[in-house]
């Protein structure tokens, strides 16, 4: 009888043709193909040194509760000798930042359509009592269907439950300073913090640059103290929407993502009317009929 202890053998990967498509704060993202079904997926690698087990399990917990066409879907786990991965939907359009860099300033109609998608996804996220905490173009992935681009919210590595307390205050203040609401710099967050970030993103899409710039310390001062200035060329309803989303005090912003979504939809409807674009099948009609709320 062989008394030598058996060695655990890591399972082989179910995926092949790994192609690096992104590099994030916590690891890399690969495009991969399932060996049997041929399905193309995204494998999000989470490095143990940068993303310990507690954070790994936290993100899985959040992803399992989210099912919405404007949120990237979690399909499973892949754990092999090369690492551990989240198996996610593959979004062939890359992220919104890449599209912005490729196309330059996007058309107003496309910008509003994508923001409506983002807010629909965010409404679902908030309905699950989750605060994203890192809304920015790099975390908005793009799929394509017969109507064009579809925006989908991704990356829940920094997300928190509503009013969740965290012992790591440095982690509570972590994020992307260019998109952080004033209270986020002090470790406070709520759904209103995500709405502020969408306001910054909408400003950037419409104007072509972010409202505030500089080093993290300069951004902190700007978000807290500097007045928001919007060019007069921005349509009135959009100026009103962005201004409300980016109020310094959370209580003065939109009460919910769906409230902001309706404001953007109204601006989109007026834009379509003003430019006389296919009035029988306007951007408003298409986006309103296609989203799922809640």
CB atoms inside a 10 Å sphere around CB 171 = 13
Q: Could you read off the pLDDT of 233-259 as tens digits, one per residue?
A: 999 999 999 999 999 999 999 999 999
pLDDT at 273: 80
Phi and psi angles of residue 44, each rounded to the nearest 5 degrees, phi first: -100, 110
- Rounded CA gap, 200 and 210, in Å? 7
Superfamily of domain 15-89: Phosphorylase Kinase; domain 1 (3.30.200.20)
Q: Which of 117, 123, 134, 155 is catalytic?
A: 134
The domain ranges of the chain are: 15-89, 96-290
> Which residue is associated with the tokens 């590595």?
157
- Find out if CATH 3.30.70.270 is the number for domain 96-290: no
- Is the pLDDT at 28 greater than 60? The verdict is yes
The structure's pTM equals: 0.84
- Is the pLDDT at 8 greater than 50? The verdict is no
Q: Could you read off the pLDDT of 50-89 as tens digits, one per residue?
A: 666 677 777 787 888 899 999 999 888 888 777 788 899 9
pLDDT at 203: 98
- Measure CA 186 to chain center: 22
Question: Kind and range of the H or E element at 67?
Answer: none
- Is the pLDDT at 289 greater than 50? The verdict is no
- Between 8-22, 35-49, 161-175, 257-271, the lowest mean confidence (pLDDT) is in 161-175
Q: Are 123 and 132 in contact (CB under 8 A)?
A: no
- Residue 89 annotated among the catalytic residues of the structure: no
């Amino acid at each position: 009888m062989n008394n030598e202890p058996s060695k655990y053998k890591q399972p082989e990967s179910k995926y092949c043709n790994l192609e690096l498509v992104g590099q994030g704060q916590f690891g890399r993202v690969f495009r991969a193909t399932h060996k049997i079904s041929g399905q193309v997926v995204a494998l999000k690698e989470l490095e143990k040194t940068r993303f310990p087990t507690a954070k790994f399990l936290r993100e899985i917990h959040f992803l399992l509760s989210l099912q919405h066409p404007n949120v990237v879907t979690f399909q499973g786990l892949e754990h092999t000798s090369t690492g551990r991965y989240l198996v996610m939907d593959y979004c062939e359009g890359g992220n919104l930042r890449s599209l912005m860099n490729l196309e330059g300033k996007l058309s107003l109609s496309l910008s509003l359509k994508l923001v409506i998608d983002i807010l629909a996804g965010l409404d679902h996220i908030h309905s699950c009592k989750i605060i994203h905490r890192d809304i920015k173009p790099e975390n908005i992935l793009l799929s394509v269907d017969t109507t064009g681009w579809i925006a989908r919210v991704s990356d829940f590595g920094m997300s928190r439950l509503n009013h969740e307390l965290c012992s790591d205050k440095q982690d509570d203040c972590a994020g992307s300073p260019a998109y952080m609401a004033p209270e986020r710099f002090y470790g406070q967050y709520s759904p209103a913090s995500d709405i502020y970030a969408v306001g910054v993103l909408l400003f950037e899409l419409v104007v072509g640059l972010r409202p505030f710039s500089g080093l993290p310390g300069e951004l902190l001062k700007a978000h807290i103290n500097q007045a928001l200035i919007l060019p007069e060329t921005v349509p009135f309803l959009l100026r009103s929407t962005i201004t409300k989303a980016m109020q310094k005090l959370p209580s003065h912003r939109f009460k919910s993502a769906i409230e902001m979504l309706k404001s953007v939809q109204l601006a989109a409807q007026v834009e379509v009317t003003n430019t006389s674009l296919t009035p029988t099948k306007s951007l408003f009609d298409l986006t309103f009929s296609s989203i799922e709320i809640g």
